[in-house]
Chain A
Amino acid sequence: MPGFVEVEQVTKAFDTRRGPVVALAGVDLSIARGEIVSLIGPSGCGKSTLVRLVGGLLAPDHGSLRVDGQDPLVARAAKSFALAPQSPALLGWRSVRDNARLLVRVNRGAEQHPVLDDAAIDDLLREVGLGDFLDARPRQLSGGMRQRVSLVRAFALGAPVLLMDEPFAALDEITRAEMRYLLLRLWSHHRSTIVFVTHSIPEAVMLSDRVVVMAPRPGRIVAVETIGLDRPRHEAQEDSVAFLGHVATIRRALHEAMVP
């Protein structure tokens, strides 16, 4: 049975001044509906390229991608993806409330899935602790609060697929840990399929059903670790033998991936 997101033998190269650079070579990946899959690997291994290919923001040179049986461009036109980039990418002149509604408002009516209405989006903002900041401007928020707005904006769209490209990379460790549990809480209500790019092994293990380890030159998948931790996930699991075992396995795979 095909996965919800299917990547088959995908190759992507970029033209540079020094000639073509192969960002991804022969990548295969199948993601089930509602699954959280993290992509981890050193810089230049094609994690962000793979996310953009899935989201129809880039076209593959070879191979094929399907999202719920559709071409990614068709899925993108139906607003099937909610992107959470590394920077919160908030509109500085808009309130928190308006920023959270942005993806719902743009290209309105194109989606084939239910989206949250304004009241539900406000409730979601309150749920993530931004109830007192609904009319605030982004400059009035801390880095963690801005990322919370970005998360709510993504979930507000109700898109079947969330594409998250290192959304917590710029945060301090404590805020980052809070954000991963917040993400899990929001996901438990919505059960979207999530493709999550990160450089943090503990973050990948705690969030994911599977962690995909990638290697550079050319970008490829070298290992896939299935995470057997129970859901809902909680902080105490971070001290468990199973958690530490997954972390060690992925660390070894990353080291091996770095050996030419």
Chain B
Amino acid sequence: MSRSPDRAVGRSLGRVALVVAPLAGIVGFLSLWELAVVAFDIKAFALPRPSRIVSDMASNPGFFARNGWATAREAGIGLAVGALAGAVIAVPMAHLRVVDRAVAPVATLVQVTPIIGYAPAIVLWLGPGLGPIVVITALVCFVPFLFGAASGLRSVDPDTLELLRSVDARWWEVLWRLRVPHAVPYLFAAARTAIGLSLIGAALGEWFALVDEGLGWAIKQGINFNAAPQVWGATFTMGALGLAGLGLVGLAERVSGLGRPEPGR
């Protein structure tokens, strides 16, 4: 009994450590970077100090906010299209082995072919602008959602499936009441993977799609003008967007209560 206050303090410290540890990791990494640049006298045009990058961002916040918003919008739309397409195509895949056998190799081919290979072709086909950026982003995000949703839809408890069959449940009732909730945790896992992919897709799309906004465009412009702080500022902004996206996924998981499989057996 006398040890319980100690345990409570230990638990509180543990919780604090869980929050502080990631921040300490990031601060430690940036500090090492800062020290290395100073210690090895690396020129700013090659690798600027993090403090220089941050001060550059702070001196022109509108630039990074505007271009960050453009990339976030492209990534968001592309991710949503990829997720929807993946989830919809996963339904016949999960039900019919022949569809699974036909679709899986094509999806795998899309996954293993570097996007940089076919991104220019998509721009040539669709012309410059938002359209090809969304298509490129959707393509890179589509595969994790497809395989994740198909696995989730198939992962139902056989006893529960038989229970619904015993009252002659219609296929769409089984889908809606049983398979879709089982697939949701898999979709959240796919979303965590797709957040980073969507930003890569959107930034790469901006390189080829002849647009004049977005973080990909800002990086390209920074390289052209030898402005390393701008390149790194855009990269930092993309990292922040990725973290924000992961935070939104985590929040959605928590609010929905469907983040982890919970069969209730």
A residues with CB within 8 A of B: 55, 57, 76-77, 79, 81-83, 85-93, 99, 102-103, 106-107, 110, 137-139, 146, 157, 163
Contact = CB atoms under 8 A, between A and B. Distances in A.
Contacts of B178: 91
B168 A107 contact: yes
B264 A83 contact: no
B264 A90 contact: yes
Contacts of B157: 87, 89
Interface of A is mostly: loop
Most buried by B among A76, A90, A92, A157: A92
A82 B165 CA distance: 11
A154 B261 CA distance: 24
Contact of B265 (A55, A76, A88): A88
A184 to B, nearest CB: 23
Contacts of A107: 167-170, 173
A99 B160 CA distance: 11
Contacts of A76: 166-168
Interface in B155-211: 157, 159-160, 162-170, 173, 177-178, 181
A85 B181 CA distance: 21
B107 interface: no
A93 B167 contact: no
Contacts of A91: 160, 177-178, 181, 264
Most buried by A among B168, B181, B262: B168
15 contacts: A81-B166, A83-B163, A87-B159, A87-B265, A90-B263, A90-B265, A91-B181, A92-B264, A106-B167, A106-B169, A107-B173, A110-B167, A137-B262, A138-B264, A139-B264
Given A89-B159, A92-B264, 12 more contacts: A79-B168, A81-B167, A88-B265, A90-B263, A92-B263, A93-B262, A102-B163, A102-B177, A106-B169, A107-B173, A139-B264, A163-B166
B168 A77 contact: yes
Contact of A55 (B166, B173, B177): B166
A146 B264 CA distance: 8
A55 B163 CA distance: 11
A199 to B, nearest CB: 18
Contact of A79 (B167, B173, B262): B167
Nearest to B170: A107
B258 A93 contact: yes
Contacts of B169: 106-107
Nearest to B178: A91
